[in-house]
C-alpha cells in the first residue's frame, strides 16, 4: 500500500497565523505544510490565471503572502516532525544559483524537512519586473532544475547550458539528505518536466477524472524516460472529492498526498480567527486523517 499523506495548504492566510497553524497541523497528524508563492500583485495581469475557468485571480492586492522559504524556516523552528514544501515556487523569475543557496540553507534549518515544489509561473509581469525573460521560459526552467540539483550535490561542479553557464564551483554545506523536487502544472510540457526531472507531481484544482487521466499520462511519460520503477509522489487537490470517501478514492487511484485548505469546507474564510481555524484542523483530522489507514506522518 502506498503512503497516505495529508498536506495543509496555508495559501492566503494571515502571516501571523502561519506558525500556530503549522503547530496545530503537526499535532493533528498532517504530514506536511504546503507553502504558496506570489511575489507581487500586478494591478493589470497580461495573461489569464490558468487554474480558474474564466482566468480571474482568486485573490486581490491585499491578500497576504510570505516568501515560502522564509516561512518554512520560521514554521519549522516551532515544530519537530511536520514537513514543508513549496506548492509551488515560481521558478522562472528567479536565479537558480542564488535559489540553490537558499534551498540548502532551508534544508539545514528545517532538519531536512523541506521539499521543493516548482512551477514556471504564469504572469509575464513576474518575469519581466524581476529581470528574467518571459521567452523560452519552459526550456529555461528545465535548465534551472538541472542547475539546482547539481549545486545541491556537495561536489565541485560546472554547468554550460543554453541559458545558464558557470565554471567549477562548490556550494557548501550541501543538504545532508536529498531535497525532493516536485513539479507543478497541467500542460504536457509540465508533465514531461515532472516525469523527467522530479520526485513527484503537484496538481492544482482538478476534477477526479482529470486527475486520474493526468496520472495515467505521467505514468506513460515516466516509462518513456526510463523512470517507471523510481518512487514518485502525486500531490492532489481534487475539486469534486471533498469527503473521507473521496479522499480514499484518490488514494486508491494512486495519489500519495491529499492537499487541502479545509476552511471553506466548514464555513470559514481565509481571514477567519485563528482559534476557529485550529478547531477546523482538529475536526478535519478526526474525520479524515485519524481514520485513514497507513497515514504517513512526517514521511515523504
Q: What is the dotted CATH code of the domain comprising 5-289? A: 3.20.20.30
The predicted-structure confidence for 182-234, as pLDDT tens digits, reads as follows 999 999 999 999 999 999 999 988 999 999 999 999 999 999 999 999 999 99
Q: What mean pLDDT is reported for the chain?
A: 94
**Which pLDDT value is given to residue 289?**
94
Mean pLDDT of 123-136: 96
Q: Quick check: 296 pLDDT over 80?
A: no
Mean pLDDT of 147-167: 98
**Which pLDDT value is given to residue 297?**
46
| SS3 assignment for 184-235 | ECCCHHHHHHHHHHCCEEEEEEECHHHHHHHHHHHHHHHHHCCCCCCCCEEE
Q: Quick check: 41 pLDDT over 60?
A: yes
DSSP 32-90: EEEE-------SS-SS--TTSTT---SS-TT-----HHHHHHHHHHT-SS-EEEES-EE
Q: Quick check: 1 pLDDT over 50?
A: no
Q: Grid coordinates 477524472 are at which residue?
A: 209
Q: Quick check: 138 pLDDT over 60?
A: yes
The predicted-structure confidence for 231-252, as pLDDT tens digits, reads as follows 999 999 999 999 999 999 999 9
Q: What is the residue extent of each domain of the chain? A: 5-289
Q: Quick check: 57 pLDDT over 90?
A: yes
pLDDT band at 2; cut points 50, 70, 90: low
pLDDT band at 52; cut points 50, 70, 90: confident
pLDDT band at 298; cut points 50, 70, 90: very low
Percent of residues, the chain, with pLDDT higher than 70 = 96
**Which pLDDT value is given to residue 295?**
57
- Contact at 8 Å (CB) between 125 and 46? yes
Instruction: Give CA–CA dist 81/238, Å, rounded.
Output: 26
Q: Quick check: 300 pLDDT over 50?
A: no
**Which pLDDT value is given to residue 292?**
64
**Which pLDDT value is given to residue 170?**
98
**Which pLDDT value is given to residue 299?**
46
Amino acid at each position: 500500500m502506498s503512503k497516505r499523506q495529508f498536506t495543509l495548504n496555508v495559501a492566503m492566510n494571515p502571516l501571523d497565523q502561519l506558525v500556530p497553524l503549522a503547530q496545530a497541523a503537526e499535532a493533528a497528524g498532517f504530514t506536511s505544510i504546503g507553502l504558496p508563492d506570489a511575489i507581487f500583485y500586478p494591478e493589470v495581469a497580461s495573461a489569464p490565471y490558468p487554474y480558474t475557468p474564466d482566468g480571474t485571480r482568486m485573490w486581490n492586492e491585499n491578500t497576504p503572502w510570505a516568501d515560502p522559504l522564509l516561512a518554512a524556516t520560521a514554521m519549522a523552528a516551532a515544530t519537530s516532525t511536520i514537513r514543508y514544501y513549496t506548492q509551488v515556487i515560481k521558478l522562472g523569475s528567479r536565479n537558480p544559483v542564488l535559489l540553490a543557496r537558499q534551498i540548502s540553507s532551508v534544508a539545514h534549518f528545517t532538519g531536512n524537512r523541506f521539499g521543493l515544489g516548482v512551477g514556471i509561473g504564469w504572469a509575464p509581469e513576474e518575469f519581466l519586473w524581476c529581470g528574467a525573460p518571459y521567452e523560452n521560459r519552459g526550456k529555461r526552467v528545465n535548465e534551472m532544475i538541472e542547475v539546482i540539483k547539481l549545486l545541491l550535490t556537495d561536489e565541485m561542479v560546472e554547468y554550460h547550458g543554453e541559458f545558464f553557464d558557470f565554471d567549477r564551483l562548490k556550494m557548501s554545506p550541501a543538504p545532508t539528505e536529498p531535497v525532493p523536487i516536485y513539479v507543478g502544472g497541467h500542460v504536457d510540457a509540465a508533465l514531461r518536466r515532472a516525469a523527467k526531472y522530479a520526485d513527484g507531481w503537484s496538481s492544482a484544482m482538478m476534477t477526479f477524472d482529470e486527475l486520474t487521466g493526468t496520472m495515467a499520462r505521467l505514468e506513460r511519460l515516466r516509462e518513456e524516460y526510463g523512470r517507471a520503477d523510481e518512487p514518485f509522489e502525486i500531490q492532489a487537490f481534487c475539486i469534486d472529492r471533498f469527503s473521507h470517501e473521496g479522499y480514499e478514492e484518490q488514494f486508491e487511484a494512486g495519489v500519495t498526498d491529499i492537499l487541502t485548505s479545509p476552511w471553506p469546507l466548514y464555513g470559514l474564510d481565509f481571514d477567519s480567527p485563528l482559534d476557529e481555524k485550529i478547531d477546523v484542523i482538529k475536526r478535519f483530522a478526526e474525520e479524515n486523517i485519524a481514520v485513514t489507514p497507513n497515514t504517513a506522518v512526517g514521511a515523504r
